Structure 1
Amino acid sequence: MSKVFIDLKDFGAKNVRYIDTRFELGNGDAGRVMYEAGHLEGAIYWDLEKDLSDMQSIYGRHPMISKDKMTNLVEQAGLLVDDSIVIYDQGGSPFALRAYFLLEWAGFSNIHVLREGYEEAKNVLPVSDLVPNYPHTNVTLNWKDEQYIDIETVKKIVAGEIEAQLIDARSAIRYRGENEPIDAVAGHIPTALNFDWEQLKQNGMFLKQDALKEKLSGLTDLTKPVIAYCGSGVTAAPLYGSLKEAGYDNVKLYVGSYSDWIREHEVETSL
């Protein structure tokens, strides 16, 4: 069973590389401002839209980045594939888990998301407003392409050509098509189940592993491939990580998500 999240009390600060991913949807500069005002000592900053998404792509609102961009991001941060890495955001947010997914895709294995987030961590760990400068590295990444699902694979799942369960991480009213505040078309990808990612957290942090297992283990077959998606691929990342933590053996992420699907394909509603 994967251990995606880590608690403050469960790791030592020595020999850990921190990645700060704080961000605010709709206010693209907020995360960098927060980081420059103070961050865990030694942390680098990765921005959801400048670093962790390809905002020039047409394939959704926060599309997948290329292997070249991910390699450059890792090397500029001075990371090595065997580094012990702890990623954090505000707490109970999707941004650290987006970075987690991308690092896992790139072959990193000693990576965790801090369950409590920065607001709790700053009371326990050293903080600084200094931006560290790590020597660039030269890495060969071991890509796990099977974790990333593109629209062609989703089409085959919907058509019944591939056995897998799509799970929509958006709110129930968006899934059902009752209200759609962002995308041009309301509804969900055909055959998808719904599980609102907001149920995965409480008091600004993600639930413990036992609680995640209780909430998620009955959602579908634990051994069946499951694919998390949302509106733009961002809030699907917490569902992706929580499914892994809850004991699902084969979890994947459709980064393009609903905003990519509706460019050319029909949807379902539950009205």
Structure 2
Amino acid sequence: MSEVFKSIKDVDIHDVKWIDARFSLQESEAGRKKYKEGHIKGALYWHLDDDLSDMTKKAGRHPLPDQETLTTLFRKSGLELDDRILVYDDGGSPFAARAWWILQYGGFKNSFILKEGFGELASMGVPVSKEVSAPEQSVVVPVWDETIVAPRKFVEKTVEGETGNVLLDARSAERYRGEVEPIDPIAGRIPGALNFDWEQLKKDGSFNLDDDVGKQLSQVVKRDDEVIVYCGSGVTAAPLFAMLKQNGYEQVKLYVGSYSDWISRETIEVEKG
């Protein structure tokens, strides 16, 4: 079982690097504004649209940046592969998980998602600052982990029954069934997908690290299944990916383009109901 989520109570905060991933899908500059008003001392700010996505691509609503762009991000952030990295957002949000997943993809395997959000961390006495961090640039060479990425062609083969993988949709049951679709132009799901609403991963606004989440997950997908998680744009699927790893699922991939990329294909196949 991999430890992905950590509570600050169980962490020695000396000799760690911090990443602030606060964001709002409704107001894209809200997280950066919060960072400027105060952040964990030494934390860098990673913006969902500017740093963790390539919004110029046409591969869903939050496409994955290319490796050259991510390498630049890691280097200007002063990261080394063996750094111990703690990522936080406002707590119970998907943005720290997105940043963490990108770190995992780049080979930064000693990185973790903090269960507590910024407000709780500050109230617990973790040092806070308004000073914008300016680390010395590194020359790190990422070790890309392609095993956690599901490109669209792989998803297409999965739908055709060629890979043996299980698709797991992290959206709400209503969106999964195609009853409502507030964002994408076509309602429905990727054919054959199962459903586990990422909101079920939380309890009282924080990610629930109790055993009952693992039990709930195992009722939908088995621990030895090869799982591909997706959502609408690849963002809320990241905490589902993280929680599967936390609960002992070893073979998990993320379809970053997710449903918004799937329905951009020339031949659109969706299921409803």
Alignment of 1:163 with 2:164, yes or no, is yes
Equivalent residue for 2:249? 248
- 2:134 is paired with a residue whose SS is coil
User: Which residue of structure 2 aligns with residue 140 of structure 1?
Assistant: 141
1:220 aligns with 2:202: no
2:258 matched residue in structure 1: 257
1:194-234 CA distances to partner (integer Å, 9 max, x unpaired)? 11000001222100142321221222221121011000000
SS of 1:121's equivalent in the other structure is helix
Q: What residue is the counterpart of 1:202 in the other structure?
A: 203
State yes or no: 1:74 paired with 2:74. Answer: yes
Whether the 8 Å CA contact 1:60–1:256 is kept in 2: the answer is yes
- Whole-angstrom distance in 1 between the partners of 2:89 and 2:254: 20
Name the counterpart of 1:62. Answer: 62
Give the distance between the partners of 1:225 and 1:209, measured in 2 at CA.
Answer: 23
Whether contact under 8 Å (1:149, 1:252) holds in the other structure is: yes
Look up the match of 1:129: 130
* Aligned match of 2:40: 40
Q: Do structure 1's residue 192 and structure 2's residue 193 form an aligned pair? A: yes
Q: Determine whether 1:111 maps to 2:111.
A: yes
For 1:123 and 1:168, the matched residues in 2 are separated by 35
CA distance in 1, matches of 2:18, 2:212: 26
**Aligned partner letter, 1:266:** E
The equivalent of 1:267 in structure 2 is 270
CA distance in 2, matches of 1:244, 1:12: 22
Give the CA RMSD over aligned residues: 0.8
Return the offset for 1:96.
0.3
- Secondary structure of the corresponding residue to residue 19 of structure 1: strand
Percent identity of equivalent pairs = 50
SS of equivalent to 2:242: helix
Partner Cα separation in structure 1 for residue 143 and residue 213 of structure 2: 29
d(CA) in 2 for partners of 1:191, 1:209: 29
1:267, 1:36 → 2: CA distance? 43
Listed one character per residue, the Cα deviations across residues 82-128 of structure 1 (whole Å, up to 9, x for unaligned) are 00000000000000000111000101111100001111101120000
Letter in 1 for 2:10: D
8 A contact 1:94–1:234 mirrored in 2 = yes
Structure 1 residues 159-182: Cα deviation after superposition (integer angstroms, max 9, x where no partner): 001100000000011010101011
Whole-Å Cα distance in 2 between the matches of residues 92 and 176 of structure 1? 24
- The equivalent of 2:26 in structure 1 is 26
Q: Is the 8 A contact 1:217 1:247 kept in 2?
A: no
Q: Deviations over 1:20-76 (max 9, x none)?
A: 000000211101000000000000000000000010000000011110111000000
Tell me which residue corresponds to 1:237.
238
Q: Distance in 2 between the 1:178 and 1:18 partners?
A: 40
Give distance in 1, aligned partners of 2:2 and 2:216: 16
Q: Which amino acid aligns with 2:51?
A: D
